[in-house]
Amino acid sequence: MTKISFASHPFLLGFEQLDRLVERTAKSGNEGYPPYNIEQSADDSYRITLAVAGFREEDLAITLENAQLVIRGRQVDDSDGRVFLHRGIAARQFQRSFVLAEGVEVAGASMENGLLHVDLRRSVPETVVQTIEINNK
């Protein structure tokens, strides 16, 4: 059986990487923790906000790996010697990934009231017009 994808269309030349990107994004898990928002704050800027209550700045790591923004959180379990009658707040780790388009850069990150904000900015590429000469043989 042959796999059909949008990148196999004859008018879309060189989009194999985009096809792999869509497939990789579709395979990523859709775990609901931590909850997050994505908002567009201007034509060329975005903000990802994650609810990371209970995490300190040193518990979080933000990396950019091959145009993929990865946010990881790891809490230290400090329950030694404590007896819980009910434990609804679990010390657990998470990993959240976001695929960034070409030209989107991380502008910065900040923590405020248990929310992690990651600001993104899209650089506007210059329009390039190239004239191709036809050679006679």
- In three-state secondary structure terms, 18 is helix
Number of structural domains in the chain:
2
Q: How high is the pLDDT of residue 7? A: 63
What pLDDT, on a 0 to 100 scale, did the predictor assign at position 24?
Answer: 65
pLDDT at 111: 96
Same domain, 20 and 66: no
69 and 25 together in one domain: no
Asked whether residue 6 falls in the same domain as residue 69, the answer is no
pTM for the predicted model, two decimal places? 0.70
Within this chain, do residues 18 and 74 fall inside the same structural domain, yes or no? no
User: Same structural domain for residues 45 and 68?
Assistant: yes
* pLDDT at 26 (0 to 100): 60
Residue 16 lies in a domain: yes
> End-to-end distance of the chain based on CA atoms, in angstroms?
43
Q: Is 43 a domain residue?
A: yes
Note whether 60 and 116 are within 8 A (CB).
Answer: yes
Residue 130 lies in a domain: no
- Are 119 and 59 within one domain? yes
The pLDDT score that the predictor gives to residue 35 is 93
Residue 135 belongs to a domain: no
Instruction: Based on the fold, state whether residues 24 and 41 are members of the same structural domain.
Output: no
Query: What is the Cα 4 distance to its own chain's centre?
Result: 26
The H or E element that residue 24 is part of is: helix 16-27
Domain that holds residue 15: 1-30
20 and 59 in a single domain? The answer is: no
Q: Would residue 84 count as lying in a domain?
A: no
Residues 93 and 110 in one domain: yes
What is the distance between the alpha carbons of residues 43 and 52, in angstroms, rounded to a whole number? 27
Other Cβ atoms less than 10 A from the Cβ of 95: the count is 13
CATH number for the domain including 51? Answer: 2.60.40.790
The pLDDT tens digits along the chain (137 residues) read 556 666 666 667 676 766 776 676 565 555 688 999 999 999 999 999 999 988 999 999 999 988 899 999 998 777 778 888 888 776 789 999 998 988 899 999 999 999 999 999 998 878 889 999 999 87
Q: Are residues 109 and 66 in the same domain?
A: yes
- Determine whether 120 is exposed, middle or buried from the number of CB atoms within 10 Å of its CB (0-12, 13-18, 19+): buried
